[in-house]
């Protein structure tokens, strides 16, 4: 059965920080952030946008009434969950008007959660060919002010609709995965900010890539020549370049040149948003599909997912004829262009805002919310109130 991505969309909050200005404020050469790290703008989540509202906004941008009736599984990948018990998927299900006979759950393994959702969705559709499955990757990446990870923060969500006979990308059942217990990046339950061993995390990411690629090649007999392009988990865009360099270490010139030629297009959106954890790989895929030249039907795209802690997986898909007419390039460009730049002091204030931890009721300032955007309006009697 042909199973894969039928629709894909993303949402990011409407405010951002300019990376050159952040570098200046931190006394760092701006080229370190824009070239060394490879980021131009960093999305910042105001208090009224959380993992749930961002995911609901991403989902609403792609779903029509027929989809809402056909979806019977909502999989919410995040490491920015808002409740220890209730899944973010239940709120998204309600906020987007999906038919009531659906299952809704949350998945966690750092940045890998949405990829796990995709794998589960494929199995579900194989057993239930008429189903559509909504997979969400939604996160706020926060390391804190004046930290090494500060220039690699971000916020946003990707929504992916999977079905049989998809119109964008057919996914193969060709995964190579790897799990290892390591402490490269984690966020204990008591902390608003992630803990990270930056250099070790880079090294672990690249070792996982190299290992799963080796397993993948053996399992499938495929090699670089079989791939038109590759997309990677993108914690910051320079990482995508490092990943291609690892894969092409012993490659011939043609393979290296071809894979490198898609790099800029595949990180165009990530460069303007920052790390969105679970959604980052899929934001990179979207960037390639929308910002890159039209590729031939059947062209194979490699996908590498990495979630610290750690799980890595390499898998692939092939493009469908006419996929360019199924994506929403203009809407996504408009979303990015309509954002407002924050001054450094405004950014610092927003980044440190948090909901009360003692259960006090709060009405959340949402003056800046654009019409039609879902947001968190209040927390009353310990219950979150989202507005659609
Ligand atoms: P750092 O120590 O600030 O930076 O940490 P650096 O000194 O390593 O410099 C970064 C790059 O800028 C280097 O290039 C420098 O040469 C270059 P590279 O050697 O890497 O190619 N540079 C300059 N370039 C031009 N002009 C200059 C200049 N100065 C320096 N003047 C680090 C950087 C990314 C480690 C830090 O920001 C961090 O800890 N970030 C968070 C962790 C992270 O993103 N890790 C990525 C892999 S793990 C992962 O992807 C999982 C994750 O998404 C979480 C999850 O799974 O949930 C994070």
149 close to ligand 1 (CB < 6 Angstrom): yes
The SS3 assignment for 135 reads strand
What is the residue-averaged pLDDT of the chain?
97
Q: Which residues of 44-54 are buried (b: 16+ CB within 10 A; e: fewer)?
A: bbbebbbbbbb
Tokens (6 digits) for 57: 């906004």
Residue 322 has pLDDT above 90, yes or no: yes
Question: What spacing in Å lies between the alpha carbon of 148 and ligand 1's midpoint?
Answer: 8
**Ligand 1 atom closest to the CA of 112, numbered from 1:** 56
Residue to substitute in 78, 150, 201, 210 for testing ligand 1 pocket (most ligand atoms within 8 angstroms of CB): 201
347 close to ligand 1 (CB < 6 Angstrom): no
pLDDT in tens, 53-92: 999 999 999 999 999 999 999 999 999 999 999 999 999 9
Residue 368 has pLDDT above 90, yes or no: no
Residue to substitute in 20, 31, 36 for testing ligand 1 pocket (most ligand atoms within 8 angstroms of CB): 36
In 10 A of CB 106, how many CB atoms? Answer: 24
Share of residues in the chain with pLDDT > 90 (%): 98
Query: Residue 109 gets which letter from DSSP?
Result: B
In 10 A of CB 216, how many CB atoms? Answer: 22
Residue to substitute in 20, 28, 30, 32 for testing ligand 1 pocket (most ligand atoms within 8 angstroms of CB): 32
202 close to ligand 1 (CB < 6 Angstrom): yes
How far is 161 from 233, CA to CA, in rounded Å? 19
Q: How far is CA 283 from CA 27, 321, 380, in A?
A: 30, 21, 34
Tokens (6 digits) for 356: 């009360």
Give the pLDDT of residue 11.
98
The SS3 assignment for 190 reads coil
| Bond prior to 90 in cis (omega within 30° of 0) | no
How far is 184 from 326, CA to CA, in rounded Å? 37
pLDDT in tens, 111-162: 999 999 999 999 999 999 999 999 999 999 999 999 999 999 999 999 999 9
How far is 222 from 228, CA to CA, in rounded Å? 12
**Ligand 1, atom 13: nearest CA belongs to which residue?**
36
Which domains are delineated in the chain?
3-387 (3.40.47.10)
Catalytic residues: 79, 111, 233
């Amino acid at each position: 059965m042909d199973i894969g991505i039928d629709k894909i969309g993303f949402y990011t909050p409407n405010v951002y920080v300019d990376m050159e200005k952040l570098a200046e404020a931190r006394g760092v050469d701006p080229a370190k952030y824009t070239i060394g790290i490879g980021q131009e703008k960093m999305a910042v989540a105001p208090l009224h946008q959380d993992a749930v509202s961002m995911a609901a906004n991403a989902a609403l941008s792609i779903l029509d009434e027929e989809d809402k009736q056909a979806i019977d599984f909502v999989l919410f990948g995040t490491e920015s969950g808002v409740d220890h018990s209730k899944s973010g998927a239940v709120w998204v299900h309600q906020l987007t008007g999906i038919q009531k006979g659906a299952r809704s759950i949350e998945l966690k393994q750092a940045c890998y959660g949405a990829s796990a959702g995709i794998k589960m969705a494929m199995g579900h559709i194989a057993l239930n060919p008429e189903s559509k499955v909504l997979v969400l990757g939604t996160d706020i990446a926060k390391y804190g002010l004046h930290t090494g990870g500060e220039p690699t923060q971000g916020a946003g969500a990707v929504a992916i609709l999977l079905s049989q006979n998809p119109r964008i990308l057919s996914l193969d059942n060709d995964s190579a995965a790897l799990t290892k217990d390591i402490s490269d990046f984690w966020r204990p339950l008591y902390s608003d900010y992630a803990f990270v061993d930056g250099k070790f995390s880079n090294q672990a990411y690249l070792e996982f890539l190299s290992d799963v690629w080796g397993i993948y090649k053996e399992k499938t007999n495929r090699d670089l020549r079989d791939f038109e392009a590759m997309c990677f988990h993108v914690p910051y865009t320079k990482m995508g370049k490092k990943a291609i360099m690892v894969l092409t270490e012993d490659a011939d010139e043609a393979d290296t040149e071809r894979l490198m030629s898609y790099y800029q297009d595949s990180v165009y959106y990530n460069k303007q948003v920052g790390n969105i954890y679970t959604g980052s790989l899929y934001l990179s895929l979207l960037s390639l599909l929308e910002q890159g030249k039209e590729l031939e039907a059947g062209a194979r795209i490699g996908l590498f997912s990495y979630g610290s802690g750690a799980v890595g997986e390499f898998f692939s898909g092939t493009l469908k004829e006419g996929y360019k007419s199924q994506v929403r390039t203009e809407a996504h460009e408009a979303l990015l262009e309509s954002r407002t730049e924050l001054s450094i002091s405004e950014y610092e204030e927003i980044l440190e805002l948090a909901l009360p931890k003692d259960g006090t009721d709060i009405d959340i300032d949402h003056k800046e919310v654009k019409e039609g955007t879902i947001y968190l309006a209040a927390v009353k009697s310990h219950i979150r109130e989202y507005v659609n």
